[in-house]
Homo-oligomer: A and B are copies of this chain.
Amino acid sequence: MGAKERREREREQRKSHILDVARELLLGKGMNATSINQIAKRSELSVGAIYFYFKDKEELFAALQLEGLELLHNAVRLAVAKKSTPEKKIRSIAMAYLKFSEEHKSYFDIINYFLTSPETIFPPNLKNVIDEHGNASISKLAAAVREGIDAGQFKPVDPRRQAIILWSAFNGVIQLKKLEKTILKKDEYRSLYMEALDRFLDGLRK
């Protein structure tokens, strides 16, 4: 019966190997410029093999996004785990998000790529799965805000809405990275990120 398991394992390995190659290419040249043929060549597999593991191009790239969201959710969970005060939790999540955007740049870019691309319209069911994953991270943030409100440190605002606002602001600032060398100095976006966090926390406090 070990044979079956081994096969299963190999299957997964192949799949993730393909994803590795695809991720690399996607980030280097964008989705449209990344072709199945290229992925095949780089992963030393045949085109047919790629199509065996993934129904089509779309499915392949959606898989990448899922990977990324899972990783992110994990990072957020860890960040929030051992922190005491709500503010510390929020700051910790913020830092985790920034860190994720830098250390897992690949995944972060992919998530954002699909989020902001008007061109790719995923089939609804896929979109749902993806949103669900995204939601998970926002909920952690909302929970921290709620805690702060309950403790009387924050204004009595809607926690989920604050979470979303914070999240959006984070994203907005991180995207500034692309303007380095023109509008911004190197790594200026980092300090801007911190200051944005300060400003919003200032605004949240009673």
Copies of this chain, complex-wide, total 4
Shortest A167–chain B CB gap in Å is 8
Mask: chain A, 66-82; 1 = CB below 8 Å from B; 0 = not: 00000000000000000
Structural contact, A118 and B170, CB atoms closer than 8 A: no
Contacts of A202 in B (CB 8 A): 202-204
B30, B116, B164: the one within 8 Å of A112 (CB): B116
Is B30 a contact partner of A119 (Cβ separation < 8 A)?
yes
A198 to chain B, nearest CB (A): 7
What does DSSP make chain A's interface, helix, strand, loop or mixed?
Answer: helix
Find out whether the CB atom of B178 lies under 8 angstroms from the CB atom of A116: yes
- Chain A, 25-36, contact with B by CB distance < 8 Å: what is the 0/1 string? 001011111000
Could you say which of B109, B135, B176 contacts A164, with CB atoms under 8 Å apart?
A: B176
Going nearest first, the 3 A-B pairs with the smallest beta carbon separation are: A30-B119, A172-B172, A203-B203
Taking A32-B32, A169-B172 as given, write out 6 further A-B residue pairs in contact, using a Cβ cutoff of 8 Å, ordered by the A residue number: A30-B117, A31-B119, A115-B175, A134-B183, A171-B175, A172-B172
